[in-house]
């Protein structure tokens, strides 16, 4: 049994879906269902006894203690977080609350549970913390990609809160010997990505005839990884990662933002041409830059490749085509997310209180 937190969000849900497609081991999925959590993403697991969903907060120690005692997982995979940089600039408090305080409380609950396990289960137990390349700060154009040796220089409230959580995880290893693993991944994209992030936002805005807002000069560089490849890396680290180690995860796909937007426009021009015959590029609009915008991220994933034999399955070309095709085929998922209608579905399905989408 695994305890997965944040498993109704973009990466967590992809992980749970992939896990249950490949393994008979059940998953308890603890998710607060913030604006980013969406049980409709997990609809295909309805009636699957291998998936136990619990709505709740990683910072609710009584709840987490009870779940650990009841389900006795052999590992915890922590995806739960506030994840959007722009939101962290406008309202950092939730980021500190979930990413820092929440991770601290989760670590304490897990430590209590793990300490009392019989020796063999104690030795086999793992706490895998899912983190980001943004903890390393920003690279200059000629700098080498981030390795696990780079120092932490987080620049946004989001990345600072994630860096704090990584430090807590590290300290729980050093001080209490908790068997932890940490992954620091680059930008993900793929199915079920909330349309506030660059790639899904550009796809849905293009199709809706809206402007495609490119921040600043559009020459900021991100390093893109298809979400299923991130999930396979996490599985590999969970299986074979060395205790206390951190592993960078990335697919060697550095691209300036404007190139990403142009690629999406070209794919849409091919797959769903505009009625007026013009290119979706016409909708590109350069807007005011994000405050403190990191210029470049790039991940050196050689440690993960060398030690654990991990390789991504998708190139950027194959992954972005799959992603655009997924959004074209899943208009209802997008419409429900945008309208907040998925809250009503959750209420009907689970009797949980509906919350307005932010």
- The residues assigned a catalytic role are 133-134, 158
Q: Does 6 bind ligand NAD (CB under 6 A)?
A: yes
Residues 257, 198 contacting (CB under 8 angstroms): yes
- The residue (of 89 and 117) whose beta carbon lies closer to ligand NAD is 89
Residue listed under structure tokens 């604006």: 35
Specify the 3-state DSSP secondary structure of 142.
Answer: coil
How many alpha carbons fall within 13 Å on the CB side of residue 295?
A: 7
| Cα–Cα distance, 159 to 226 (Å, whole number) | 21
| Cα–Cα distance, 192 to 36 (Å, whole number) | 10
Residues 133, 146 contacting (CB under 8 angstroms): yes
Contacting residue, 29, 83, 161, 232, with ligand DAU by CB under 6 A? 83
Q: How many residues bind ligand NAD (CB under 6 A)?
A: 32
Nearest C-alpha neighbor of 225 from the set 9, 10, 5: 10
Contacting residue, 112, 213, 256, 340, with ligand DAU by CB under 6 A? 213
Secondary structure, 3-state, 116-130: CCCHHHHHHCEEEEE
Residues 106, 259 contacting (CB under 8 angstroms): no
* Residues numbered 254-273 forming contacts with ligand DAU, rule: CB under 6 A: 257
Site string for ligand DAU, 289-318 (x = CB under 6 A): -x------x---------------------
- The residue (of 58 and 301) whose beta carbon lies closer to ligand NAD is 58
The CA–CA distances, whole Å, from 4 to 52, 108, 218 equal 10, 16, 35
Residue listed under structure tokens 């994933």: 301
Report the Cα 60 to chain-centroid distance in Å: 21
Show the DSSP H helices in 72-137 as ranges. 85-90, 93-95, 103-115, 119-124
Bridge partners (DSSP) listed for residue 4: 29, 77
Q: Does 129 bind ligand DAU (CB under 6 A)?
A: no
- The residue (of 51 and 222) whose beta carbon lies closer to ligand DAU is 222
Q: Does 319 bind ligand NAD (CB under 6 A)?
A: no
- The residue (of 109 and 182) whose beta carbon lies closer to ligand DAU is 182
Q: How far is the CB of 173 from ligand NAD (least distance, A)?
A: 18
Q: Does 169 bind ligand NAD (CB under 6 A)?
A: no
Contacting residue, 2, 3, 4, 9, with ligand NAD by CB under 6 A? 9
Site string for ligand NAD, 126-165 (x = CB under 6 A): ----xxx-----------------------------x---
CB atoms within 10 A of CB 341: 15
Q: Does 109 bind ligand NAD (CB under 6 A)?
A: no
* Residues numbered 64-103 forming contacts with ligand NAD, rule: CB under 6 A: 79-83, 98, 102
Kindly list the residues in this chain that would bind ligand NAD in the complex (CB under 6 A): 5-6, 8-12, 30-34, 36-37, 57-59, 79-83, 98, 102, 130-132, 162, 185, 187-188, 194
Kindly list the residues in this chain that would bind ligand DAU in the complex (CB under 6 A): 83-85, 132-134, 186-187, 197-198, 201, 213-215, 220, 222, 257, 290, 297
């Amino acid at each position: 049994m695994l305890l997965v937190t944040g498993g109704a969000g973009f990466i967590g849900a992809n992980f749970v879906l992939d896990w249950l497609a490949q393994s008979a081991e059940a998953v308890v999925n603890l998710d607060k269902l913030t604006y980013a959590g969406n049980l409709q993403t997990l609809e295909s697991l309805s009636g699957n006894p291998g998936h136990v969903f619990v709505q709740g907060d990683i910072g609710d120690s009584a709840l987490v203690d009870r779940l650990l005692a009841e389900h006795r997982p052999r590992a915890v995979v922590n995806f739960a977080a506030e994840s959007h940089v722009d939101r962290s600039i406008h309202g950092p408090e939730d980021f500190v609350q979930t990413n820092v305080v929440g991770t601290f409380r989760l670590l304490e609950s897990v430590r209590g549970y793990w300490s009392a396990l019989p020796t063999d289960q104690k030795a086999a137990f793992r706490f895998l913390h899912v983190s980001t390349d943004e903890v390393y700060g920003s690279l200059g154009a000629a700098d080498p990609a981030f390795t696990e040796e780079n120092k932490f220089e987080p620049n946004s409230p989001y990345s600072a809160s994630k860096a704090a959580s990584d430090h807590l995880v590290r300290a729980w290893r050093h001080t209490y010997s908790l068997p932890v693993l940490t992954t620091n991944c680059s930008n993900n994209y793929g199915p079920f990505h909330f349309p506030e992030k660059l790639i899904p936002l550009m796809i849905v805005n293009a199709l809706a005839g809206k402007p495609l807002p490119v921040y600043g000069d559009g020459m900021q560089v991100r390093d893109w990884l298809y979400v299923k490849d991130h999930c396979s890396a996490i599985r590999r680290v969970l299986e074979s990662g060395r205790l206390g180690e951190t592993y960078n995860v990335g697919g060697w796909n550095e691209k300036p933002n404007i190139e990403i937007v142009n690629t999406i426009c070209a794919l849409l021009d091919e797959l769903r041409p505009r009625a007026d015959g013009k290119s979706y590029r016409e909708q590109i609009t350069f807007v005011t830059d994000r405050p403190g915008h990191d210029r470049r991220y790039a991940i050196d994933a050689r440690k993960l490749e060398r030690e654990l034999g991990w390789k991504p399955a998708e190139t950027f070309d194959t992954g972005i085509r799959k992603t655009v095709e997924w959004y074209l085929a899943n208009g209802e998922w997008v419409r429900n997310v945008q309208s907040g209608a998925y809250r009503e579905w959750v209420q009907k399905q689970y009797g949980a209180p509906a919350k307005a989408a932010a």
